Amino acid sequence: MIVDWSAYRAVLFDLDGVITPTAEVHMRAWAQMFNDFLSARGVEDPYTDADYFEHVDGKPRYDGVRDLLASRGITLPDGTPEDPADQAAGAETVCGLGNRKNDAFGQVLREEGVAAYPGSLRLLDELRERGTALAIVSSSKNAPDVLAAAGVTDYFTVVVHGGVAAERGLKGKPAPDTYQEAARELGVPDETAVVVEDATSGVAAGAAGDFGLVVGVDRGVGHDALTRAGADVVVDDLDELTAAAAAPGDPA
Which are the catalytic amino acids?
14, 16
What whole-number distance in Å separates Cα of residue 189 and Cα of residue 207?
15
Nearest CA-CA partner of 18 in 186, 237, 169: 237
DSSP classification of residue 54? I
Contact assessment for residue 160 and residue 186, using Cβ atoms and an 8 Å cutoff? no
Three-state secondary-structure class, residue 221: coil
What whole-number distance in Å separates Cα of residue 2 and Cα of residue 12?
18
Helix boundaries (H) for the chain: 22-40, 49-51, 61-71, 94-112, 118-130, 143-150, 162-168, 177-186, 200-208, 223-229
For 222, left (φ over 0), alpha (ψ -120 to 50), or beta? left
33 HSE (CA, 13 A, CB side): 31
Contact assessment for residue 62 and residue 94, using Cβ atoms and an 8 Å cutoff? yes
What whole-number distance in Å separates Cα of residue 140 and Cα of residue 143?
6
Beta bridge partners of 215: 196, 233
CA 21 to chain centre: 11
